[in-house]
Structures are given as structure tokens and as C-alpha cells.
Amino acid sequence: MSQTHDYDLLVIGAGSAGVRAARVAAGHGARVAIVEEHRVGGTCVIRGCVPKKLLVYGAHFAEDLEDAQRFGWLMAQARFDWPTLRDNVLAEVARLSNIYTQTLSSHHVAVLNGHAVIEGPHEARVANQSISARVILVATGARPHIPDIAGSQYAITSNDVFHLQELPRRVVIAGGGYIANEFAGIFNEFGSQVTLINRSDQILRGYDEQIRDRLLQITMSKGIRVLLKARLEQIAKNDDGGLTVKLGDGIAVQCDAFLCATGRVPNTEHLGLENAGVAVDDKGAITVDDFSRTSCPSIYAVGDVTNRVQLTPVAIREGHAFADTVFGNTPTKIDYDCIPSAVFSHPPLGGVGLTEAQARNRLGDVKVYTSDFRPMKNVLAGRDERALYKIVVDASNDKIVGAHMIGPDAPEILQMLAVAVKAGLKKAQLDDCVAIHPTMAEELVLLK
């Protein structure tokens, strides 16, 4: 590698994408430094996927403990203690952050603490220190969007939930995406009175209509109030310390916390991108080519800051592909087709490939196979909640083009079905597979 710069690669942002890129580039022999102004680990580890999933696990015990009595487990009245879960989750986050830091150290990646500002195609300033690099990679991620309305300073975001001193008795959640629906389920299971408001007439845009409708039905049956086509106008502080959330048509909702989950914004401000001629789109995301190169030839960008697909596994692959392309002499593009995704709601759901509507628009003649059933555990527990599994098949060749499901452990089951969709397997091949009985997953090879 060239010795004309301080480093061969300077990574800005030590989240999932940046850490993977730094580690792989160092493995290819590059001299690498990574800059982080907060904690190593990024959104997923520190304030996203990991701590949220731990809260989901904690929330599930509410129903599990209730159901356990139908299975013969007699116990005294259970009591939930929020500080115990919160502190244990934060301790696990700290442990994982340390592991990420150790991984960088073991790969001889220099970790620089501070805010980085790009000063040119090969230059950046970190804490008043000028650093040069042959290649700069921007992996600064994204942050929660807060709408520009009166009283927005009273809103909290998903970042703040993990640090709440106490659980709100009443919480209003704005948004219809995965973050809003996940936290609606979490707060509801913890005993909060939850109101979910969304400006459109549907939740989880992009997921299969039948699946998201099923979640909406179950969500409301659990006691969560859902207000669709609700226009957020103002958040006002009450004399008693509570909040009044004012919506269109004169609707007002009282709450103790207002959680804003209305999307995420790429972190591109105050980076000095203009100093190197790095172009951004109208949403502030860095524009890149198929190899993650920006409009400045020596600067690349990966992960949520590019707003391609905001998923941690995708960001990791982008970071890895960048390192292989630039430092491994192996040009690598990411295949964004058939990316599976899940929502860890209550119950969870997931999907991969084309929805039924997408398949009909694109292919015309399709076949849809479903199984609408009550899981065995729910039957004995006396819980009416039903699971729904669905696959979409191209009628012309029997190829499975989409799979969608909602029910207990749906994301765990969907992961393997995603392999079948990605591989282009046919419905007949599912039918040829012997079922594992009794399981929920067996429904996938028995679909009618």
C-alpha cells in the first residue's frame, strides 16, 4: 500500500458497516483507521436491533407467564420491574461495544475518537488533527426523524427508550413502520396504555397486505388504540407534566410520553462532504454507484447513510463488498433482490420476495397458497391469536416468488424459506419435503 498518506483507508463511523469494512480492508493488508464520535457499535448494537430485540424478549414474558398457568405452572402474581430489564440491556450493549472495539484492535485498526470533517478528497480533520488517507469511507448511518411541529422538543425517539427512568403509563407512538409497531407491542406488553397514530391509512407499507392487516387486527385486539389517517399538529406540555398530542379534526390524546417513529434521516450534515464534491440526493443521502463510490473518486459510502436498504445485514455486506473491491482486488456488487426482512412486533412477521399485489402487477398469472391456523400452544393457552403463512407462485413455471408470514417465531422460520425463494425453488419441491410434526413450520410444506 502507498505510504504517501497517513492511512490507506479512513472509515468515518464505527457501526456495523464501518467496522466490517475496516476489519476486512485491514485483512487485505491496508493501514486502516476508523473514527467514531460516540460508541463503537453504531445504531444496531447501541440503540437499535440488539437492545430492541432484548426488550422484545422481555415483553414476551407477559403473555408467556399468563399462558404458563394453562400448562400447569402455578405461581404468585408476577411483577415487572423496568429498571432491572433496562439496566441489564444496557450492560449487554456495553459488553458488545467492547467486543467490537477489541475486534478492531485485534485487526490492527486504529480507533480515533471524535467528530470527523472531510476537508478534501483525501483529507479529514478529527479533533483538530488533520489526517490523510488514500480512500475515505463514510459509514455514518442514520438517525430518527422528528417532524417540524410545535412541541417537538417534548418527543422522544427509539434512541431514548432504552434510557427511560420509568415506564410511561400512557404512550403515543407516531408512525406506521417497523419501529412504531415494534415499540407499540413492547410498551403494551409492559402494561402501558398505547395509542398508535399514522398519517396514512395503512401500516407497514411494503409488506404483504394480508399479513399487515392480520397484525393490525391482532394489535387492536390486544388493546392498542390505532388511529389511521391522523395528522399530527402539535405536542403540548400539561400543567401536571403530561402531554397533549393534538391531531387534525380536533382530536387530542393525553399521554405521558410521545415516541416519534416516523422514519430515519441519513447522517450527512456537518461532515464537510461539499469540501470534496460529494453529492447527496434530495433526502440528504449520499449518492453512490454499484460499487459504493461517490461522486468523488476517492470517497465511498455504505450503509444507511446511502439510504439504499436500511437493514443491518445489508450494511454489513456493503461494507464487506467495498473492502473486497477496493483493497482485495475483487470487484463485488451487492444483490439487492429478494432481501428478507422482519418486524419484531407481537406477534412477529416477515417477508421475502414479491408480495401478492407486486406479483400480480409484474407477472399477471400467479397462484397464492396460504395456511391460516391457530398454533398448538395458543390453543391450549386459550389464546385466539392465529398465524398466517403465505407463498406466492409464478403460475407459468411454479417458481416461488414471494413468502410472507405472521405468527410465533415467524422471522426464525422465514430465514430458511428465504433461501428457497432466493434459489428459485418451485412449489412442487416444497410439497416433496416431508413435514416435521408437530411444528408450525410444517405448514410450509402443506400449503394449499
Comparing C-alpha atoms, which of 319, 303, 220 is closest to residue 268? 303
- For residue 448, name the pLDDT band (cuts at 50, 70, 90): confident
- Could you give all domains of the chain from N- to C-terminal order, each with its CATH number? 7-143+265-327 (3.50.50.60), 152-262 (3.50.50.60), 347-445 (3.30.390.30)
Say what percent of the chain tops pLDDT 90. 97
pLDDT of residue 2: 55
The CA distances from residue 192 to 58, 189, 195, 275, in Å, are: 14, 7, 10, 48
- For residue 77, name the pLDDT band (cuts at 50, 70, 90): confident
Q: pLDDT tens-digit profile of 84-122?
A: 999 999 999 999 999 999 999 999 999 999 999 999 999
pLDDT of residue 75: 84
Residue 197 pairs in a beta bridge with 174, 227
The mean per-residue pLDDT over the stretch 137-153 comes to 96
Which among 28, 60, 346, 437 is annotated as catalytic? 437
198 with 230: CB under 8 angstroms? Answer: yes
To the query of whether residue 437 is one of the catalytic residues in this protein, the response is: yes
On average, the pLDDT of the chain sits at 96
- For the cut 70, the answer to whether the pLDDT of residue 196 exceeds it is yes
Q: Which residues contact 77 (CB under 8 A, 6 or more apart)?
A: none
302 with 141: CB under 8 angstroms? Answer: no
Comparing C-alpha atoms, which of 43, 41, 19, 304 is closest to residue 162? 43
Task: Tell me whether the omega of the peptide bond preceding residue 347 falls within 30 degrees of 0, making it cis.
Answer: yes
Q: pLDDT tens-digit profile of 306-330?
A: 999 999 999 999 999 999 999 999 9
Distance CA 351, CA 371 (A): 15
Distance CA 317, CA 294 (A): 17
Predicted TM-score (pTM) of the model is: 0.95
